[in-house]
Amino acid sequence: MTTRWMLFDQQRCFGCNACVVACQQEYGLPAQIRFNRVDVTVSGTFPNTAIAFRPLLCNQCDNAPCMTICPVGAITRDATSGVVVTDRVRCVGCRLCTTATGCPYGMRAMDGAGKVVKCNFCLDRMTAGETAPYCVKTCPSGARQMIVGLTPPTGTRMENRGAVTATKVVYGDTPNQRI
């Protein structure tokens, strides 16, 4: 069923945040709302300090807690792409899905109209003829790639974070060349 997933190459990501701003600009988000973040972790002692970058966006979880928690059934899975989507008309703005139980990754936010918003892999844009989400297009290092129509890899590459397995967002080291 799943036809859309995103591949991240953590070795290439260098925390430039272009993906964050590209998404905000296209969706007209205020600076406080990010559909997409890049986590930076610092560990170790100078000079052996390690810095790691990890892009984070909605995982389009297989067992999405946001879907389960929504009292009015506004959150569903798109049958074609597997993307978890929110129906703005049905959403009553109760905020349950924005809690840590509703989304363990903090990937849902309220917009100015009291509706919940999140990354939907730019699904509507793609159907409008775009070739890739804006975060993918702008990435200066080619660290992220939108894969359509292939089965996501399984096994060790799948990242298990907490209680929920992120089945669509994959961290790997497969080269993703732009040219």
Compute how many other C-beta atoms are within 10 angstroms of the C-beta atom of residue 57.
26
Sole binder of ligand SF4 in the list 15, 99, 110, 171 (CB under 6 A): 15
Site for ligand SF4 in 52-81 (CB under 6 A): 53, 55, 57-61, 64-66
Please confirm whether the linkage preceding 175 is cis (ω < 30° from 0): no
87 binds another protein, rule: CB under 8 A: yes
User: Helix or strand or coil: residue 103?
Assistant: coil
Q: Which is nearer to another protein, 60 or 138 (CB)?
A: 138
Q: Which of 2, 4, 7, 22 binds another protein (CB under 8 A)?
A: 22
77 is an interface residue for another protein by CB under 8 A: no
In the complex, the smallest distance separating the C-beta of residue 147 from ligand SF4, rounded to whole angstroms, is 12
Can you tell me the distance from the alpha carbon of 159 to that of 73, in angstroms, rounded to the nearest whole number?
28
